[in-house]
Amino acid sequence: MKRIFSGVQPTGNLHLGNYLGAIRNFARLQDEYECIYCVVDMHAITVWQEPAELEANTREVTATFLAAGIDPTRHIIFNQSQVPAHAELAWIFNCVARLGWLNRMTQFKEKAGKHRENASAGLYVYPVLMAADIMLYKATHVPVGEDQKQHLELTRDVAQKFNNDFGREVFPIVEPLIFGEATRVMSLRDGTKKMSKSDPSDYSRITMTDGPDEIAQKIRKAKTDPQPLPESVEGFEGRPEAANLITIYASLADMETEAVLAEHGGRQFSEFKAALTDLAVEKMGPVGQEMQRLMSDPGHVDAVLKDGAERADALARPILREVYEAVGFLNAR
């Protein structure tokens, strides 16, 4: 059986990178895999979240999953905190993962920054919880953006060490699914930085709820360089902003980058930006509108999450039981 698990944090400012790098792919995999898609609220609190905003953001991510076309009757959509086995397996994995492995995680270094001593312990063990999320369902594949590759390698290491330590093949070795033209969408203000929710500049990202005017304004203001568009991918060298805008176009249009260059190479940025705006409005507009519609019906969104949590819990319980037995936790009756 091929089973997918993937998650998105409800930390607000959901953006084009999250959509093209992850959520749109989630929807495209539904016919081939059994899918479990999670709003990872326990990951979100590794950095401070206002409680009322966390609730609203949890519904927003759920609405994005639904608006992107994920069918909650055929697959599972739920929020992590409602299935306690995530935390339970994470504790066991905390005892399997090695400090040396966690010390190598670049995302912790980036997020903790200079104030490492002040970062939460949760932020440090974030990749261990992620390993537990995936292994709790014995998922075989995880669709993610490029930035999550290192965490998936850690998941494989934890699973392998668990199997070795306890002498049983409890967990499969998971494969990342990183595909499409936009595996790493960059900031509109700086083509060397990842588009991210936490960037202080709103002009660095197109969010899922931006309307046509905001999309147009952000693309118009996007950083470029003075030369016309390159005519081949070799021309991307030293021109990260050009590479980023063309990659976004290719991904939105479902075209190869080379085909976009054949059509637009040699043109001025102003002309290309107009075409990119039209395309972004055409592709993102309906998703954003459907999200807004769903968010105005929180009862429906909550019902999807509740049903998903019950089904996820039913899948997770026997797997956690198998792990407890392997570890030697006595279940005295």
What positions carry a catalytic annotation?
111, 194, 197
Residues from 249 through 268 that contact ligand AQP (CB under 6 A): none
Cβ-based nearer residue to ligand AQP, 35 or 323: 35
Beta strands in 24-75 (DSSP E): 34-39
DSSP string of 98-140, one letter each residue: -HHHHHT-HHHHHHHGGGGGGS-HHHHTHHHHHHHHHHTTT-S
Decide if residue 246 touches ligand AQP (CB under 6 A).
no
User: What CA–CA distance (Å, rounded) separates 144 from 118?
Assistant: 28
Site string for ligand AQP, 191-220 (x = CB under 6 A): ---xxxxx----------------------
Closest separation in Å from C-beta 149 to ligand AQP: 9
Cβ-based nearer residue to ligand AQP, 145 or 320: 145
Angle, CA of 33, 38 and 43, to the nearest 5°: 140
Find, among 173, 262, 183, 129, the residue nearest to 18 by Cα: 183
Does residue 268 contact residue 197 with C-beta atoms inside 8 Å? Answer: no
Cβ-based nearer residue to ligand AQP, 135 or 142: 142
**Binding ligand AQP by CB under 6 A: which of 85, 97, 131, 144?**
144
Site string for ligand AQP, 148-167 (x = CB under 6 A): x-------------------
Decide if residue 184 touches ligand AQP (CB under 6 A).
yes
Decide if residue 8 touches ligand AQP (CB under 6 A).
yes
Site string for ligand AQP, 9-28 (x = CB under 6 A): x-x-----xx--xx------
Decide if residue 59 touches ligand AQP (CB under 6 A).
no
Site stretch for ligand AQP (CB under 6 A), options 141-149, 250-258, 282-290, 311-319? 141-149
Decide if residue 45 touches ligand AQP (CB under 6 A).
no
Q: In terms of residues, how long is the chain?
A: 333
Cβ-based nearer residue to ligand AQP, 159 or 188: 188
Closest separation in Å from C-beta 209 to ligand AQP: 15
The tokens describing 267, both together, are: 């043109």
The tokens describing 296, both together, are: 């105005």
Q: Torsion angle, CA of 111/4/53/309, rounded to 10 degrees?
A: -140
User: What CA–CA distance (Å, rounded) separates 170 from 148?
Assistant: 23
Decide if residue 58 touches ligand AQP (CB under 6 A).
no
Find, among 217, 207, 241, 179, the residue nearest to 17 by Cα: 207
Find, among 277, 265, 285, the residue nearest to 220 by Cα: 277
Hey, how many other C-beta atoms are within 10 angstroms of the C-beta on 153?
16
Write out the residues near ligand AQP by the rule CB under 6 A.
8-9, 11, 17-18, 21-22, 144-145, 147-148, 182-185, 194-198
